[in-house]
Amino acid sequence: MDILILSLALSADAFGAALAVGMRRIGLVDKLKLSAAVGLMHILLPFISMTIGSELFHVFGDWLFSAGGIVLLLTGLQMILAFFKDEEKQKPMGIGILLFSFGVSMDSFSTGLSLGVLGLDKQASVISFGLCAGMMTMGGLILSSKMSGAVGKAGEAAGGILLLVMGIKWLLA
């Protein structure tokens, strides 16, 4: 259940960004490319960082368990603070698709470090992250023509709150 909650929280950032970007009239092929790129990046980045996190745990021991909770807290806080920033989202094209997917996947990299320390199932986690992020991105792009940009920012903040709660849970465990 924790993996699903984390998947949804990490995908909220991609969903919010996709809502804002999708208002700029993106065709179906570009929506598919963007969603696939975000999904793949949500697999690749946490896979790398979970591997690093589990290796660090073997070297540094139990104190990294608390550090993992702190990383989740900080990532959640960053997502909540992004709610208050006023930034213009552009329609990603070409290399912009890669940069967009990398940007909205950075929180999954830092969270992956924590998950590697916590010992969660790497394959199940990254597959869940990727599928959820790809679907949430596509959902955001499709819904964007009917909603305002404020909804996307609120979704990102909600994901941040979920990460904060998960971080507190792991710190108190």
pLDDT for the residue 5: 84
Give residue 136's pLDDT band: very low, low, confident or very high (50, 70, 90): very high
* Res 65: pLDDT: 55
Tens of pLDDT along 155-171? 666 666 766 676 677 66
CATH topology of domain 2-172: Growth Hormone; Chain: A; (1.20.1250)
Q: What is the distance in angstroms between the CA of the first residue and the CA of the last residue of the chain? A: 16
Instruction: Give residue 84's pLDDT.
Output: 72
In this structure, what DSSP letter does residue 120 have? Answer: -
Q: What is the pLDDT of residue 116?
A: 67
d(CA 84, CA 79): 10
Most confident of 104-113, 125-134, 160-169: 125-134
Query: Which pLDDT score is estimated for 75?
Result: 62
Q: How many CB atoms lie within 10 A of CB 7?
A: 24
Q: Return the CA Rg of the chain.
A: 16
3-state secondary structure 103-156: HHHHHHHHHHHHHHHHCCCHHHHHHHHHHHHHHHHHHHHHHHHHCCHHHHHHHH
The band of 36, judged by pLDDT with boundaries at 50, 70 and 90, is very high
pTM here? 0.68
How much of the chain exceeds pLDDT 90, in percent?
A: 15
Mean pLDDT along residues 122-128: 89
* Residue extents of the structural domains in the chain: 2-172
pLDDT per residue as tens digits for the range 51-102? 887 777 666 666 655 665 666 566 667 666 766 766 555 566 677 777 778 7
Residue with tokens 């009239």: 25
